[in-house]
Structure 1
Amino acid sequence: MASASNLPDLSVHDTLPKLLSLHARQHPNDVALREKDFGIWKPLTWAQYHARVRAFALGLLKMGVVRGEVVGLLGDNRPDWVGGEVASHAIGAMSLGIYRDALDEEVAYLITYADVKVVFAEDEEQVDKLLNLGERLPTLQHIIYSDPRGMRKYHDPRLMPVTDLIALGEELHAAQPDLYEDLVGQTRGEDVAVLCTTSGTTSNPKMAMLPAGRLLRHCASYLSVDPKGPEDEYVSVLPLSWIMEQVYAVGMAMLSRMRVNFVEEAETMMHDFREIGPSFVLFAPRLWEAIAADVRARIMDASPFKQKMFDLGMKLGLEALAQGRRSWVADQILFRPLRDRLGFTNLRSAATGGAALGPDTFKFFQALGVPLRQIYGQTETMGAYTVHRGDDVDFDTVGVPFDGGIEVKVIDPDHNGVGEIVTRHPNMFAGYYRNEKATVADMRDGWMHTGDAGFFDKKGHLVIIDRIKDIATTANGDRFSPQYIENKLKFSPYVAEAVILGDKRPYLSAIVCIRFSIVSKWAEKNRIAFTTYSDLSSKPEVYELLRAEVEKVNATLPEYQRISKFLLLYKELDADDGELTRTRKVRRGVISEKYGTIIDAIYDDKPKIDVDTTITFQDGTKQRIRTTLTVIDLLPTKAATAEPVAA
């Protein structure tokens, strides 16, 4: 395991290229990365990794990329994505990761804002995205692609296969064999290496400037509480554009030499995951929720005996968990084979972050035997800075701060101790790229103002309530956290997304999106005919199914937080429509504006709401939706007893 005592000396090896050169010298034949391609896992040793990065870096140099410029990265998680990033740092350039599913407008904004000249684009899909933007990318001079499939039909002069880039680099290396190491030696830890986009709630995210040395020192702080080493296996599935995947797949991997594995396709992720059997996993809450929902969906198709065994195992497991122990019987009849089925057998550490994970989902995986911990942080703080320690796991908290001078406090608390969470530590970001105004607004006297509301419990654990701007108050003066209730709803296998309404209204209501893959299976099993998502979500039988799920959640909530009405939306919430961030957080402002007519109709006590709208798919095709939404009354509603609370 990697501990502070056996990590590389970060006062000397303070950048990613320096660490890569170190490992290539000391451990040339050890496997650094693996990628699954055409069903075969292909390893890349530290020596091969180093040689490829060297060729990339010298190739970029020969193409005219200079210190201080920005190199873009667009595509799925691949070794060449990481290699392009480290190569950019080696010549003093900054890397900018762009989410692979970013819309054209987002891509155009980021590339033009940062004056990007060169983009590593993985394949035809990403190349198409860049070429279709045409004159909207005036700074873009070179597009380097790794996957040649489908590329023969293109003749744009900016296109270059990665093999040509490597040839350029090797030619320069042959002429000047010491040049690359000289360049690496000139890299400095305090130079900005990564521009990492914030998740944000607008279509134009800010870019946090992350110096290499600070990133690595923060990763070392993380390793002090969650050690990793060369024997550890990690499967990289979350977008490399996200700060926490940068921490794990790039920073911590380069420090601890844990092996990073890249799956073949998103569709094969869980199969590939199981083949590797990683010792550590980082999933976003939405993925944990999806896995839990999928397990429940599979149980629906199981025999009555297996269903009874599942129910018994979960009952025994959750009872044991509540007593701070594990159930041997539950492990034998359910959890051990289920862990194997999911690829969790070898897990020694597991984490979730990026958004809140509902306590019910958390308990499900803890009972299963997954050593799940919640982490909390922001892009600006190099990702997470709190985590649960050892067995001190609390489902309602995000743990305690890391070691290494990390300070967290709650300011302006109310009578319950709830206030804004602020933090500072030695390794935070260096400000927002070309946006001093935003830097000054978020960083005050060295403290990062997170915009999150929370408090410390009696054990010193940090509890996150919600975004301050999202904490709502009913017209009767009752405060509630929409996110908390939404997470409880999403523990249901039938619920994909939910939006809780009620701010300045007399009661709470909900807009619910069904989990189509599971509800469609349920409908087929019950011989309910349907055609599309919209058609299925309007079926009376589906409404009754979801009514039971919402009522289950209501039974666990205080009376003033219970949902009085709900409806099933005619479409899924989508990041491409601006309704979710790229890390799958609800953009409440967009929801309020886009579905304002529907929301008003709910609170006007209309039992039916007619909808006639058009939705646009990612490929540009459009579909007209004409349907009627049914508003389900769960609880009697009454007018507000107090004046509406001021905004």
Structure 2
Amino acid sequence: MARKRNQKTTPEFGDVRRFDTFPKLLAYNARAYGHEVVMREKEFGIWNAFTFTDYERKVRQYALGLRSLGIERGDCVGLLGANRPEWVWGEVAAHAIGATSLGIYRDALGEEVAYLIQAAQIKAVICEDEEQVDKLIELGDQIPSVTVIVYCDPRGMRKYTDARLIAETELCSRGDLLNRARPTLYDDEVEKGSGEDVSILCTTSGTTSKPKLAMLQSGHFLRHCLDYLTADPKCPGDDYVSVLPLPWIMEQVYVVGQQLIARNIINFVEDEETTMADLREIGPTFVLLAPRVWESIAAEVRARMMDSTPFKRFMFAWGMKIGKKAAAEKRQSWFADLILFRALRDRYGFSFLTSAATGGAAMGPETFTFFHAMGVPLKQLYGQTELAGAYTIHRGDDIDPETVGLPFDESAVRINDPDDEGVGEIVGRSQGMFLGYYKNEAATNADLRDGWLYTGDAGYMDTRSGHLVVIDRVKDLANTATGVRFSPQYIENKLKFSAFVAEAVILGRDLPYLAAMICIRWSIVSKWAEQKGISFTNYTNLSAQPEVYALLREEVERVNDTLPEAQRIRKFLLLYKELDPDDGELTRTRKVRRGVIAEKYAQEIEAIYAGRDAIDVDTTITFQDGSTARIQTTLRVETLLPPDNGSPARQAAE
């Protein structure tokens, strides 16, 4: 898709204090810039475009259609499915009639969906397709508040007789009828809205328990999005590919808030499997990807080198060496770009990037440096759902892979109760500060004090640059039984830079030394094993192969070489399955739930520290479709360093 790239000039944005809700700002844009393309969706290989005029027309139809079905001001509308224009239209439509919106992750299991519907008392749910409708119908009387279920994809829906079901096309028809009968109703409802109204209920990450619902006000949210645009400018016509789930706060910022202000073009991919191909076809101006996605791309690049000729491997290593040296000096190497990076950027759709960001979890410095050497203008950001997403980011060329940058102009960060090294709890505030947790006053009072959010994250301010450095969750910082303090997340991120490591969990809290449980990256390790002629049947079988253990041992030893001796990994094992949000082991944003891991893998952890060389496992795992499989295997415990290397005497000497 060849397009003229827009010039970076100072754009005219709508007045977010006057147009202080999403529907008001949308109405202004439709009047002033109705012809501008603001969304594209790929369907059956064709990109379908929508203008601001189309956007407002669909929102009007949805809003009045919902109103005709009994949805009133103060009700809650749920959104369940993949990133699609209909998702955004439904959200803004809910706000137009004074309802709140709550996004639910498309891969959420029935139990999670029921919890969120019950918590928010959702009255209407806009679903993508049959799969999502099935989840709701199977919940039966667990969700009595739901009176309307709108489905957008009619395929497979004829067999249902549930009276709550209505097609998206029928919803729009109802909206048109009501609009003809009462032509001023929609505009009147939009005008009644206030930026002080709670418009978005957004789930927190829920690393320790079920997610809470943060109440966000649209006026505060929009002002915070404008503050973000000051720190990381974007212009009308800039392309963004929506990849991360829309229920996540940062995708809300990019796809809904910033889009309405900066008038970017949001591109929705055809399918999850076509994401990278669609991204390359669009050639976006800016992207936001989770650390796991950046890690996967970096792993894929290195894995492809495994298939290449010795000459290409030599050129890759040479180009990376030159590129990393240039990146460390805050410049680009034209030679490395010529022989390597220009082609790499083109392959992944990064040729036109002027801004790239990562957030939601920590990223290892090695991955960050890899992309800067490649010429990708990657920046780290940091924030929380409660503060309307990110409120710190790297500015311009002031980039440090160890930090998350500086606060936005209208945001602030301080360190609470710092220790002798300046490390304490990160406390922040922004213009997008949440009003509190929905129906959870105790949690609100615990986290929100004197206008500041107590994040629960540990960090410090870099005295040289003034940047914020995030270490880990305060509760996750740990000490071994011998007094060695360590950050599990920091070491895990170093391990995940390896192309062969998909996930890692560092153990050692109140234990004699550090150990690791590692999940192999199936796509890469399986390819490696095929090249080596190693026979295997499935993930469990592959992870138990001696050659795979030897491969991962080299990777762990490489990480150990970069760590202080007292913080080195003494033992590791390879888990028989990948960690999975469906099993409660990870949050939907891929953060490790350490409490669940400690409980679920207690047998394996106990065996590591009991000095056993192998662990017999006989367990059953449940897949997303409800089917189960029995796993019987033996996990081998690999010893890298003798445990007495972590003795108190040695640590005291250090």
Q: Is TM > 0.5 for Structure 1 vs Structure 2?
A: yes
In the alignment, what sits opposite 1:384? Answer: 390
Conservation of the 8 A alpha-carbon contact between 1:237 and 1:263? yes
Letter in 1 for 2:307: D
By how many angstroms is 1:231 displaced?
2.1
1:473 aligns with 2:479: yes
Conservation of the 8 A alpha-carbon contact between 1:475 and 1:641? no
By how many angstroms is 1:203 displaced?
5.0
Superposition pairs for residues 347-362 of structure 1, below 5 Å?
Answer: 347-362=353-368
Match 2:74 to one of 68, 76, 82: 68
Superposition pairs for residues 613-624 of structure 1, below 5 Å?
Answer: 613-624=619-630
Match 1:562 to one of 568, 571, 582: 568
Superposition pairs for residues 188-203 of structure 1, below 5 Å?
Answer: 188-202=194-208
Match 2:51 to one of 42, 45, 52: 45
1:627 aligns with 2:633: yes
Conservation of the 8 A alpha-carbon contact between 2:64 and 2:179? yes
By how many angstroms is 1:301 displaced?
1.0
In the alignment, what sits opposite 1:157? Answer: 163
In the alignment, what sits opposite 1:424? Answer: 429
Taking structure 1 as reference, are residues 180 and 3 closer, same or farther at Cα in structure 2, changes over 3 Å only?
Answer: farther
Letter in 2 for 1:555: D
In the alignment, what sits opposite 1:111? Answer: 117
In the alignment, what sits opposite 2:648? Answer: 641
In the alignment, what sits opposite 1:307? Answer: 313
By how many angstroms is 1:248 displaced?
0.4
By how many angstroms is 1:426 displaced?
3.5
1:279 aligns with 2:285: yes
Match 1:235 to one of 227, 237, 241: 241
Query: In the TM superposition, what whole-angstrom CA distance separates every residue of 1:148-201 from its partner, at most 9, and x where no partner exists?
Result: 111122221111110000000000001111111111111100000000000112
1:448 aligns with 2:453: yes
Taking structure 1 as reference, are residues 4 and 197 closer, same or farther at Cα in structure 2, changes over 3 Å only?
Answer: farther
- Distance in structure 1 (CA, Å) of the matches to 2:564 and 2:319: 29
Match 1:600 to one of 587, 600, 606: 606
Letter in 2 for 1:165: L
1:414 aligns with 2:419: yes
Letter in 2 for 1:244: M
Letter in 1 for 2:461: F
In the alignment, what sits opposite 1:437? Answer: 442
Which consecutive segments of 4 or more residues in structure 1 shift more than 6 A?
1-5
Higher deviation after alignment, 151-160 or 359-368: 151-160
- Distance in structure 2 (CA, Å) of the matches to 1:641 and 1:214: 52
In the alignment, what sits opposite 1:530? Answer: 536
Letter in 1 for 2:422: G
Secondary structure class of the residue paired with 2:499: coil
By how many angstroms is 1:94 displaced?
0.1
Letter in 1 for 2:261: L
- Distance in structure 2 (CA, Å) of the matches to 1:308 and 1:36: 39
Superposition pairs for residues 100-249 of structure 1, below 5 Å?
Answer: 100-202=106-208, 204-249=210-255
In the alignment, what sits opposite 2:15? Answer: 9
Match 1:57 to one of 35, 60, 63: 63
Secondary structure class of the residue paired with 2:648: coil
Secondary structure class of the residue paired with 2:643: coil
Conservation of the 8 A alpha-carbon contact between 1:4 and 1:224? no
- Distance in structure 2 (CA, Å) of the matches to 1:393 and 1:212: 31
1:79 aligns with 2:73: no
Conservation of the 8 A alpha-carbon contact between 2:224 and 2:430? no
Letter in 2 for 1:334: L
- Distance in structure 1 (CA, Å) of the matches to 2:260 and 2:14: 10
Superposition pairs for residues 464-543 of structure 1, below 5 Å?
Answer: 464-543=470-549
Conservation of the 8 A alpha-carbon contact between 2:330 and 2:397? no
Conservation of the 8 A alpha-carbon contact between 1:34 and 1:261? yes
Structure 2 gap segments, 5+ residues each:
1-6
Conservation of the 8 A alpha-carbon contact between 1:359 and 1:396? yes
- Distance in structure 1 (CA, Å) of the matches to 2:478 and 2:94: 45
Conservation of the 8 A alpha-carbon contact between 2:83 and 2:242? yes
- Distance in structure 1 (CA, Å) of the matches to 2:456 and 2:333: 40
Query: In the TM superposition, what whole-angstrom CA distance separates every residue of 1:544-597 from its partner, at most 9, and x where no partner exists?
Result: 010011011111111111101000000000000000011000000100010011
Higher deviation after alignment, 475-484 or 341-350: 475-484
- Distance in structure 1 (CA, Å) of the matches to 2:430 and 2:153: 41
Conservation of the 8 A alpha-carbon contact between 1:410 and 1:421? yes
By how many angstroms is 1:325 displaced?
2.1
Query: In the TM superposition, what whole-angstrom CA distance separates every residue of 1:505-561 from its partner, at most 9, and x where no partner exists?
Result: 111100000000110011111111111100000000000010011011111111111
Taking structure 1 as reference, are residues 2 and 13 closer, same or farther at Cα in structure 2, changes over 3 Å only?
Answer: farther
By how many angstroms is 1:324 displaced?
2.5
Structure 1 gap segments, 5+ residues each:
none
- Distance in structure 1 (CA, Å) of the matches to 2:333 and 2:510: 46
By how many angstroms is 1:641 displaced?
3.4
State percent identity of aligned pairs.
Answer: 64
Query: In the TM superposition, what whole-angstrom CA distance separates every residue of 1:199-256 from its partner, at most 9, and x where no partner exists?
Result: 1124521000000001000000000111111120000010000000000010000001
By how many angstroms is 1:7 displaced?
1.8
Query: In the TM superposition, what whole-angstrom CA distance separates every residue of 1:302-358 from its partner, at most 9, and x where no partner exists?
Result: 122211111111111112222232211110000000000000000000000011010
Conservation of the 8 A alpha-carbon contact between 1:2 and 1:223? no
Secondary structure class of the residue paired with 1:469: helix
Q: Please give the TM-score of this superposition, normalised by the length of structure 1.
A: 0.98
Letter in 2 for 1:641: P
- Distance in structure 2 (CA, Å) of the matches to 1:116 and 1:68: 10
- Distance in structure 2 (CA, Å) of the matches to 1:258 and 1:324: 29
Higher deviation after alignment, 63-72 or 4-13: 4-13
- Distance in structure 1 (CA, Å) of the matches to 2:298 and 2:17: 43
Conservation of the 8 A alpha-carbon contact between 2:17 and 2:223? no
1:572 aligns with 2:611: no
Secondary structure class of the residue paired with 2:587: coil
Count of aligned residue pairs for this structure pair: 642
By how many angstroms is 1:412 displaced?
0.7
Query: In the TM superposition, what whole-angstrom CA distance separates every residue of 1:54-78 from its partner, at most 9, and x where no partner exists?
Result: 0000001111111111000000000
In the alignment, what sits opposite 2:558? Answer: 552
In the alignment, what sits opposite 2:301? Answer: 295
Conservation of the 8 A alpha-carbon contact between 1:2 and 1:256? no
Conservation of the 8 A alpha-carbon contact between 1:75 and 1:122? yes
Conservation of the 8 A alpha-carbon contact between 1:3 and 1:224? no
- Distance in structure 1 (CA, Å) of the matches to 2:260 and 2:452: 29
Conservation of the 8 A alpha-carbon contact between 1:94 and 1:194? yes
- Distance in structure 2 (CA, Å) of the matches to 1:561 and 1:394: 23
- Distance in structure 1 (CA, Å) of the matches to 2:501 and 2:429: 37
By how many angstroms is 1:490 displaced?
0.3
Secondary structure class of the residue paired with 2:103: strand
